[in-house]
Amino acid sequence: MRIVFIGQAPFGAETLEALLAQSEQIVGVITTEENPRQKQENPVKQSADKHGLALLQTNRLKRPEVITWVRDLAPDLLVLAFVTSFVPTKMIDCARHGGINYHPSLLPKYRGGSAINWAVINGEQETGVTIHFIDEGVDTGPIILQEKVTITDDDTVKSLYFGKLYPLGITMMCTAVRLIKNGQAVTVAQDEHEASYQPVITPADTVIDWGQPTQRIYNLIRGSNPSPGATSCLGTTLCRIFDCRPADAAGTPGSVIQIADDSFTVATGDGAITVQTIRPAGAKKMSAAEFVADVSLSLGDRFIPPADPTAKEQPC
């Protein structure tokens, strides 16, 4: 079965390598263009070059020349692994079996590009991986495979993705390709009554309201880690908070109520959050201890919502 692979990032590269190890026939690879600011070479490009595969780098899949390139390869299947661009219908139609995609949620719930973030923020106790055929919608095509994973109380987006959804996704992509090749794929239509769509998360979505309950704030911070970080201001300093844990303490919401050797604690609406990792504007991510020393943090200092949560490095 002739496959055109479309993907990016380490997940894309490892999925491509897994398909090649499964002896799949990859006739072409599409990945993103090189970014002058990226520190390392595109891993999907590296994998394609290593195996001598036909390669096209583009950030716009809708371009007529890109569709022509795919059509000329006469693929049976498009395989999408970490694709953030919309795949046009004309490209899907180039492949006899259409295309399949990896999505890190239990579709039809949590469609969209930030499914993992929103599942954690909303306090879900489980999520999963769905492999589905693609159509003209966003994550709306028929489901081929689906498996659940547990979201533990201390999972962040990073731990959930790299520890669970990433390796499971690679395995399931290979299984789906094998099923399609052998004519054994059985699909299930998505139930639109159960569907939900969440937008790509931005700093405007991750502003901490310290008057909220501890669990809600904790979920917000976990669901924003490692990106974009949960936002709050200390004086005029915009901060993004990452690692933390709930604490059994009380005080005025937003106020610093404890300072320890490796952390500091901020009061919430019904308890407190102990902060372990934070990044102030204009600086790198740092330990709470480093932050305490850098800003001379004192008991009673107060965190408040930023005036502009979309700002990257500007003062509050």
Decide if 283 is inside a domain.
Answer: yes
Tell me, what CATH number does 50's domain have? Answer: 3.40.50.170
Indicate the pLDDT class of residue 202, thresholds 50, 70 and 90. very high
Domain that holds residue 169: 2-194
Pair 116, 137 in one domain: yes
- Chain segment 91-104, per-residue pLDDT in tens: 999 999 999 999 99
Pair 164, 232 in one domain: no
Residue ending a domain, among 194, 217, 251, is 194
Pair 139, 271 in one domain: no
Nearest one of 11, 16, 8 to 177, comparing CA atoms:
16
Pair 35, 105 in one domain: yes
> What would you measure as the largest C-alpha separation in the chain, in angstroms?
67
Pair 208, 172 in one domain: no
Pair 26, 116 in one domain: yes
Pair 190, 224 in one domain: no
Decide if 309 is inside a domain.
Answer: no
Q: How far apart are CA 274 and CA 277, in angstroms?
A: 10
pLDDT on residue 315: 60
**In this structure, are strands 286-287 and 126-133 parallel, antiparallel, or unpaired?**
unpaired
Pair 109, 247 in one domain: no
Decide if 35 is inside a domain.
Answer: yes
- Chain segment 275-314, per-residue pLDDT in tens: 999 999 999 999 999 999 999 999 999 999 998 777 665 6
Contacts 24+ apart (CB under 8 A), 184-188: 185/144, 186/144, 187/133, 187/142, 187/143, 187/144, 188/142, 188/143
Pair 221, 180 in one domain: no
Q: Average pLDDT, whole number, for the chain?
A: 96
Decide if 234 is inside a domain.
Answer: yes
Decide if 314 is inside a domain.
Answer: no
Indicate the pLDDT class of residue 35, thresholds 50, 70 and 90. confident
Indicate the pLDDT class of residue 40, thresholds 50, 70 and 90. confident
Residue ending a domain, among 136, 168, 194, is 194
Pair 90, 127 in one domain: yes
pLDDT on residue 307: 82
Decide if 262 is inside a domain.
Answer: yes
- Give the distance from CA 63 to its chain's centroid: 26
Structural domains in the chain (count)? 2
Q: Is the peptide bond before 43 cis (omega within 30 degrees of 0)?
A: no
Residue ending a domain, among 160, 194, 228, is 194
Decide if 315 is inside a domain.
Answer: no
Decide if 85 is inside a domain.
Answer: yes
pLDDT on residue 173: 98
Tell me, what CATH number does 268's domain have? Answer: 3.10.25.10
Pair 184, 42 in one domain: yes
Q: Which residues contact 9 (CB under 8 A, 6 or more apart)?
A: 43, 44, 82
Pair 228, 293 in one domain: yes
Q: How many CB atoms lie within 10 A of CB 316?
A: 19
Range 8-17 average pLDDT = 98
- Chain segment 157-176, per-residue pLDDT in tens: 999 999 999 999 999 999 99
